[in-house]
Amino acid sequence: MPGRRYYQSRFLVTGVSLLVLGAGNVLIGSTKLVQYERVVAEGRARGYFPDTGTSSGILRPVDDEGERYNIGRAKIDLYHVVLSGGLLMLGLGAILTAAAWVRVRVHREKTPTAGGPVRDAPRDSSL
């Protein structure tokens, strides 16, 4: 079976797995990042700026808009990490997959066919 050699290579399976997981993280991270950046932008457009650092805002109770803004900022940080991790996994997966694919191809060219190694015919010493 020619495909068996590919899925038995641990490096190739690991590389492809990292590619799939990394692509999922990049997709989720980028879409959620856009979503929560919109939430934070809406909060700032309504005049909510908790970053000003005034001392009167420290003891003030947080309203619903402030809580939504703070959660949005925290989720932006979270999805930046998810996106960065996904890009890292994509890079490592691509390198590992390419190296494993080359390794499997080179190994396949070195191994003899299914008939076994070709041996020289026995020499007849009577001639």
- DSSP states of the chain: -TTHHHHT-HHHHHHHHHHHHHHHHHHHHHHHHHHHHHHHHHHHHTT--GGG--GGGTSSPP-HHHHHHHHHHHHHHHHHHHHHHHHHHHHHHHHHHHHHHHHHHHHHHHS--TT----PPPP-TT-
Per-residue pLDDT tens for 106-124? Answer: 876 766 655 555 555 556 6
pLDDT digits (tens, 9 = 90+) for 74-83: 999 999 999 9
